[in-house]
Amino acid sequence: MSDATVASVGEHGLIERLRARAGSPPAWIPIGIGDDAAVIEPLRGELTVVTTDSLVETVHFRRDWTPLAAVGHKALAVSLSDLAAMGATPRASLLSLALPPDLPLREFDEFIDAFLALASRAGAPLVGGNLSRSPGPLVADSIALGSVHRRRVLRRDGGRPGDELYLTGTVGAAAAGLAMLSTGAKRPELQPEEAECVARYERPDARLRCGTAMGRARAAAACMDLSDGLADAVRQIAAASHTGAVIDAARVPVHPGARSWAQRTHGDALALAVSGGEDYELLFAVRPRWRGAFRAAGRLCSDVGLTHVGRLTAEPGVWLDRGGTLEPLGQGFAHF
Amino acid sequence: MSDATVASVGEHGLIERLRARAGSPPAWIPIGIGDDAAVIEPLRGELTVVTTDSLVETVHFRRDWTPLAAVGHKALAVSLSDLAAMGATPRASLLSLALPPDLPLREFDEFIDAFLALASRAGAPLVGGNLSRSPGPLVADSIALGSVHRRRVLRRDGGRPGDELYLTGTVGAAAAGLAMLSTGAKRPELQPEEAECVARYERPDARLRCGTAMGRARAAAACMDLSDGLADAVRQIAAASHTGAVIDAARVPVHPGARSWAQRTHGDALALAVSGGEDYELLFAVRPRWRGAFRAAGRLCSDVGLTHVGRLTAEPGVWLDRGGTLEPLGQGFAHF
């Protein structure tokens, strides 16, 4: 079996393999893998949240840098992060794969096992999907469905001038991790906090607990995830909310591994933290008078931490405040 | 603008373009394109049905054979067909595209306009998705969400020995259409019924009205769509229902264009009809005592027509009955 490829097993064989690994669906999935479509029982009185995100080989990952188990984890994490940014609780996932026919079956299994492990932890059982052959890159599209009460939805466009901007966790780690991989840094030679950057790049965590806590507390006016970086998220929330924004450079919680890597390579840790993508933290806009409720809800995700990094403004433009001097905030990760 | 490519407009530009073309979402979509995820209001008391299907360039279509407007239509039709096979009514759609950066913007627009036109006709407004760069083929993943009452779901595994098998419409057209394109047949030289085959290959119709009519009448014991051909669908329904099956060769409703093309090319029309994929008709298993209700419901989709093509059997195996001689039924379209 060690030389088997996905082509040698065939589509129906792969689906059976997937179904066996996925196990029986929970009670709220009357029909899972193996029919024309999946059937999901919505929670009474709640809204359905749905999103899709994709990882394209050589654009978002390289098989020679990153094990497929990491890609399988990340393929789902990126969609779960979108649910987190809406305040939604995961309920189901689907997976659409375009696979090079010579992909070793062992790597397919590693991908699937990592996807399923995260799906299980997040409460988003795999209920369906699609398998195709790819004449080029491996393309993994995940679809995540979630549920949220209508008064607990976190939107992108709810910000107002004067709102404070808060960030979960730290930033710059994923961009630093990618830089380490792309410059051929050997994993054993990395400092522990640098190795953490590679792990954050390869296996991001969706901030689901934080998103639902803020939605339930109705403590955030707007929210978005940092898939394309802090600068991009600030820009998007400001644009959707018809405001400007200022980020205080001194407050940006740069990951220590990104700092260490920047120092070693004579790079700019703040640039990694502001413009680097794929940290999958959450950015919240919070009315000053809701600050108490926001911080109280923040205790429910205290393992991640929340940092006050800036504010929305009436004046247009998105700025980085470096000790009183305003610079235009950098761009995020560009997909084209 | 005529030389513009998707790369020259960039991801945010393409999303804005898409959002402008999609227009305002209906009342049941509180949040559509432009947030981290879409939010959909489920119908009270109904189940949510979700599916995804993809078209991969050079595997499922070729840009030199098929205009991107046709690909845009088909990208959604293939997922709507899955909803039809569950008896579900469409409610929303998402689209994930991996695009070669040099794709002309004009072709992107044609793709999107065709997708949106079908989405609008089918009642499945585009509510979200994802855009990535592709270093290789264009990959289009559509996601369709639908709604169905819990007692009206059409499953694949509900068949029993003795059930009659019925097919909507005709088969063989899509496979013949693909054969015409792949052998370089000039469109103006085709007979009208042959040109219809090309149209059926390029712009399949999902049998939504038929699927929901049968679900509502509770007249079908099992259902599946013919994405991978009649032989594959019969095999899958029989396997899921733990039965065998026999198809009567003389009853198979071969499309007249497929017949004409097979005659001209000394091919086998029945083989096109049985093993050719992508007809997107529906196959139903019907208890003999439900036949009346089934045929009554069939009047609601009389434009398509229903043909009694065979039966499920207690004996295992899936067979083609050619005037009393049983042959193994061919395989469907293989994706790997």
Could you tell me if B51 lies within 8 Å of chain A, comparing CB atoms?
yes
| CATH 3.90.650.10 domain range(s) in chain B | 164-328
Q: Do A85 and B132 touch (CB under 8 A)?
A: no
Output the CATH code of domain A164-328: 3.90.650.10
pLDDT over 90, % of chain B: 92
Could you tell me if B23 lies within 8 Å of chain A, comparing CB atoms?
no
Alpha-helical segments (H) within A183-298: 192-202, 208-217, 230-241, 256-264, 269-275, 291-298
Q: Do B30 and A51 touch (CB under 8 A)?
A: no
pLDDT at residue B256 tops 90:
yes
Q: List, for residues B34-74, the tens digit of each pLDDT value.
A: 999 999 999 999 999 999 999 999 999 999 999 999 999 99
The full DSSP string for A90-154 is: EEEEEEEEEE-TT-BHHHHHHHHHHHHHHHHHHT--EEEEEEEE-SSS-EEEEEEEEEEEGGGPP
Q: Which residues of chain A lie closer than 8 angstroms to B83, CB-CB?
A: 36-37
Note the pLDDT of residue A336. Answer: 57
Q: Which residues of chain A lie closer than 8 angstroms to B46, CB-CB?
A: 42
Note the pLDDT of residue B334. Answer: 53
Q: Do A42 and B56 touch (CB under 8 A)?
A: no
Instruction: Name beta bridge partners: B225.
Output: B282
Q: Please name the residue of chain A whose CA is at the shortest distance from the CA of residue B52.
A: A129
Q: Which residues of chain B lie closer than 8 angstroms to A40, CB-CB?
A: 47-50
Q: Which residues of chain B lie closer than 8 angstroms to A53, CB-CB?
A: 96, 130
Which residue positions in chain A have pLDDT lower than 70? Answer: 1-2, 331-336
Could you tell me if A151 lies within 8 Å of chain B, comparing CB atoms?
no
pLDDT tier at B2 (50, 70, 90 boundaries)?
low
Could you tell me if B156 lies within 8 Å of chain A, comparing CB atoms?
yes
pTM over 0.90, yes/no: yes
Angle between the N-to-C axes of helices B256-264 and B192-202, in degrees from 0 to 180, rounded to the nearest 10? 110
Q: What share of chain A is helix, strand, coil (3-state, %, to 5)?
A: 40, 25, 35
State the Cα–Cα distance between residues B270 and A246, nearest whole angstrom.
68
The count of CB pairs under 8 A between chains A and B is: 233
Nearest-neighbour CA in chain B from A166: distance (Å): 17
Tally the C-alpha atoms within 13 A of residue B223's C-alpha that lie toward its C-beta: 30
Question: Edge-to-edge, what's the strand order for the sheet holding B318-322?
Answer: B222-225, B282-286, B164-168, B306-313, B244-248, B318-322, B325-328
Q: Do B42 and A42 touch (CB under 8 A)?
A: yes
State the Cα–Cα distance between residues B223 and B294, nearest whole angstrom.
12
Q: Please name the residue of chain A whose CA is at the shortest distance from the CA of residue B91.
A: A48
Which of B37, B53, B146 shows the shortest C-beta gap to A51?
A: B37
Contact predicate B234/B318, CB 8 Å: yes
B residues 220-239 near A, CB within 8 Å? 223-225
Q: Which of A242, A252, A197 shows the shortest CA–CA distance to A222?
A: A242
Note the pLDDT of residue A247. Answer: 98
Which of A11, A46, A51 shows the shortest C-beta gap to B335?
A: A11
Query: Tokens 């926001």 — which residue?
Result: A294
| CATH 3.30.1330.10 domain range(s) in chain A | 6-152
Q: Which of B144, B137, B138 shows the shortest CA–CA distance to B115?
A: B144
Tokens representing residue B144 in the block: 């369709």
Is beta strand B126-133 parallel, antiparallel or unpaired with respect to B89-99?
parallel
State the Cα–Cα distance between residues A103 and A136, nearest whole angstrom.
11
Helix (H, G, I), strand (E, B) or coil at A45: coil
Residues 6+ apart with CB under 8 A from B165: B234, B237, B245, B247, B283, B284, B285, B286, B308, B309, B310, B311, B312
Q: Which of B261, B253, B259 shows the shortest CA–CA distance to B179?
A: B261
Q: List, for residues B147-180, the tens digit of each pLDDT value.
A: 999 999 999 999 999 999 999 999 999 999 999 9
Is the CATH code 3.90.120.10 the one for domain A6-152? Answer: no
Could you tell me if A143 lies within 8 Å of chain B, comparing CB atoms?
yes
Backbone dihedral region for residue B58 (phi beyond 0: left; psi -120 to 50: alpha; all else: beta): left
pLDDT at residue B336 tops 80:
no
Q: Do A37 and B82 touch (CB under 8 A)?
A: yes
State the Cα–Cα distance between residues B177 and B188, nearest whole angstrom.
14
Backbone dihedral region for residue B49 (phi beyond 0: left; psi -120 to 50: alpha; all else: beta): beta
Q: Which residues of chain B lie closer than 8 angstroms to A127, CB-CB?
A: 50
ipTM for the assembly:
0.95
Q: Which of B65, B220, B225 shows the shortest CA–CA distance to B144?
A: B225
State the Cα–Cα distance between residues A263 and A266, nearest whole angstrom.
5
Could you tell me if A34 lies within 8 Å of chain B, comparing CB atoms?
yes
Instruction: Name beta bridge partners: B50.
Output: A38, B145
Tokens representing residue B187 in the block: 């469109």
Q: Which helix (H) or strand (E) holds B241?
A: helix B230-241
Could you tell me if B281 lies within 8 Å of chain A, comparing CB atoms?
no
Lowest mean pLDDT among B1-10, B220-229, B301-310, B321-330: B1-10
Q: Which of B18, B39, B206, B21 shows the shortest CA–CA distance to B96?
A: B18
- B2-35 in b/e burial notation, b at 16+ Cβ within 10 A? eeebbbebebbebbebbeeebeebeebbebbbbb
Q: Which residues of chain B lie closer than 8 angstroms to A51, CB-CB?
A: 36-38, 94, 128
Q: Which residues of chain B lie closer than 8 angstroms to A98, CB-CB?
A: 54, 56, 59, 139
What is the average per-residue pLDDT within B226-255? 96
Q: Which of B38, B184, B192, B241 shows the shortest CA–CA distance to B125?
A: B38
Q: Please name the residue of chain A whose CA is at the shortest distance from the CA of residue B9.
A: A336
